[in-house]
Amino acid sequence: MDQTFLGGVFSETLEGGRAGADVELLPAGIGARTPDGETFVIPYRDCQVEMGGYNGRMVFCRNADRSLTIFCDAPKFPKALSLAAAGTLDDQLAIGHKKRRGESRRAFLFGTICLTAILLFIVAGYFGIRFGARSAVLALPVSIDAQIGDAAMESMDLGGPKVRDDVVVGAMQSIVDRIAPAAAVEGIDFRVHVVESAQINAFALPGGNMVVYTGLIQNASSPEQIAGVLSHEMAHATLRHGIQRIGQSLGIWAGISLLVGDVSGLTGAAVDLMQVASVNSYSRTHENEADAEGVRMLHAAEIDPSAMADFFEHLEEEEGDVPGIFAWISTHPDHASRIASVRAQLAGLPPVQYRPIDIDWGEVRKRIDKNIDTSIDNSDVPEKN
């Protein structure tokens, strides 16, 4: 029964109070021999057994006045000790085992509770941000939209020089002015900027700044088609989609910062996000909402909304020839289903006598095609009107 295990000993007689030791189960008791050759023995009858250590499996054998402790964490040690002591230490070993099991159960429970709490926090945070951001943002006054939109407009690269031709800009402004009274939100001042670029694109920033690219005007066959795209973009502004996106993105940042415990980076992140989020594509839900709201506004303004669907179809046909410049389409995916849902909405509208848009369409097209080079202005300062 003279097995040797790797262990150690605590004793005041040792230098530093401790040493590693070979632990032996001798007939007289538990023995320990240090590398320096010092030996210690605790008789089995005086031995007090406890369990603990870094893994909870370490057996501590202490003498009566606790001045000497021999310890060992070899997996076979408890059983060998029980046999060597002829069962006299079994009760203490059993208590140690029971205590360890209880502790590991408690640790498991604690870990599970912590994990569940963290998961719940993440899930709740996600939904809180998704739905909380919308209502929180919609509770803000509309003037905030204008402040953010103006700031973004000033710092943004529009992708081309601004067109200053009064006929062209005036025509676009008059389309927007005709739709504007039908807007669901009051207090948005829609201002149109025309930018010379082959992109077939238009967008609205929060607060009413709108940008129309000359490529869009060149590709439209009637002012009603332009009105279709513009009403969609105006709907993004009136439904405050841009600002909702900023709110969501910031909400996620705020959530992360809360978890990480540092909110100082929030300001920097907000500035970056504002520019990206205000221009980048909107979510599918937002697109569908903007389509429906655009059609509603056109109808209320007595402009034929079917032109919107016509223009989508026209773009879909042409897209195959020249991809890349169809930016408006590329940020607005899945147009087949959009055309279908716009048509379905049209069918359900009450009949109204549509009035044509009162602009000189021929002159606008002519000026865009021919005189564009002489009428542009390279100034980057946004015009206020």
Partner 1 sequence: MQTEIRDRPSFANIRVRLEPGDEIVAEADAMASMSSSIEMKTQWSGGFVNGVLKRLFGGESMFVNTFSTQTGGEIVLTQPFPGDIQCLELNGNSMFLQPGAFIACEPGVKLGLGWAGWKMFVAREGLFRLKVSGKGRVWFGAYGGIFQREIDSEYIVDSGHLVAYEPTVGVQIALAGGIFSSFFSGEGFVTRVNGPGRIYMQSRSFDGLAAWTNAHLY
Among 16, 75, 141, 348, interactor with partner 1 by CB under 8 A = 16
Q: C-beta of 128: minimal distance to partner 1 in Å?
A: 18
Among 39, 43, 45, 53, interactor with partner 1 by CB under 8 A = 53
Q: C-beta of 11: minimal distance to partner 1 in Å?
A: 11
| Closer residue to partner 1, CB minimum distance, 69 or 278 | 69
For residue 215, give the nearest of 264, 159, 170 by alpha carbon. 159
> Which amino acid, residue 305?
P
> What is the chain's alpha carbon radius of gyration, rounded to the nearest angstrom?
39
Confirm or reject binding of residue 34 to partner 1 (CB under 8 A): yes
Residue 368 is encoded by which pair of tokens?
């865009």
Among 4, 17, 120, 155, interactor with partner 1 by CB under 8 A = 17
Axis crossing angle, helix 241-260 with helix 142-155, rounded to the nearest 10: 90
Q: C-beta of 129: minimal distance to partner 1 in Å?
A: 20
Q: Categorise residue 252: left if φ over 0, alpha if ψ from -120 to 50, beta otherwise.
A: alpha
Dist. CA 298–CA 137, nearest whole Å: 26
Among 26, 46, 56, 255, interactor with partner 1 by CB under 8 A = 56
For residue 94, give the nearest of 67, 256, 102 by alpha carbon. 102
- CB–CB of 262/139 below 8 Å? no
Dist. CA 362–CA 186, nearest whole Å: 33
Confirm or reject binding of residue 73 to partner 1 (CB under 8 A): yes
Q: C-beta of 258: minimal distance to partner 1 in Å?
A: 11
In angstroms, the Cα distances linking 136 to 54, 131, 132, 369 are 49, 9, 6, 46
Dist. CA 312–CA 337, nearest whole Å: 11
Contact segment (CB under 8 A) with partner 1 among 13-21, 86-94, 142-150, 220-228 equals 13-21
Dist. CA 26–CA 348, nearest whole Å: 97
Contact segment (CB under 8 A) with partner 1 among 11-19, 82-90, 144-152, 284-292 equals 11-19
| Closer residue to partner 1, CB minimum distance, 118 or 136 | 118
Among 43, 87, 102, 111, interactor with partner 1 by CB under 8 A = 111
Among residue numbers 235 through 264, which ones bind partner 1 (CB under 8 A)?
261-262, 264
Q: Give the total of residues touching partner 1 (CB under 8 A).
A: 33
Q: C-beta of 37: minimal distance to partner 1 in Å?
A: 11
| Closer residue to partner 1, CB minimum distance, 107 or 340 | 107
Confirm or reject binding of residue 10 to partner 1 (CB under 8 A): yes
Confirm or reject binding of residue 15 to partner 1 (CB under 8 A): yes
| Closer residue to partner 1, CB minimum distance, 264 or 285 | 264
Q: In what order do the strands lie in the sheet with 39-43?
A: 39-43, 29-33, 18-25, 4-11, 68-72, 58-62, 48-52
Q: Judge residue 107's burial from the number of C-beta atoms within 10 Å of its C-beta, 0-12 exposed, 13-18 middle, 19 or more buried.
A: exposed
Q: C-beta of 71: minimal distance to partner 1 in Å?
A: 6
Confirm or reject binding of residue 285 to partner 1 (CB under 8 A): no
SS3 304: coil
Confirm or reject binding of residue 36 to partner 1 (CB under 8 A): yes
Q: C-beta of 216: minimal distance to partner 1 in Å?
A: 40
- CB–CB of 317/325 below 8 Å? no
Confirm or reject binding of residue 52 to partner 1 (CB under 8 A): yes
- CB–CB of 207/384 below 8 Å? no
Q: What residues make contact with partner 1 under the rule CB under 8 A?
A: 8, 10, 14-21, 34-36, 52-54, 56, 58, 60, 69, 71, 73, 103, 107, 110-111, 114, 261-262, 264-265, 267-268
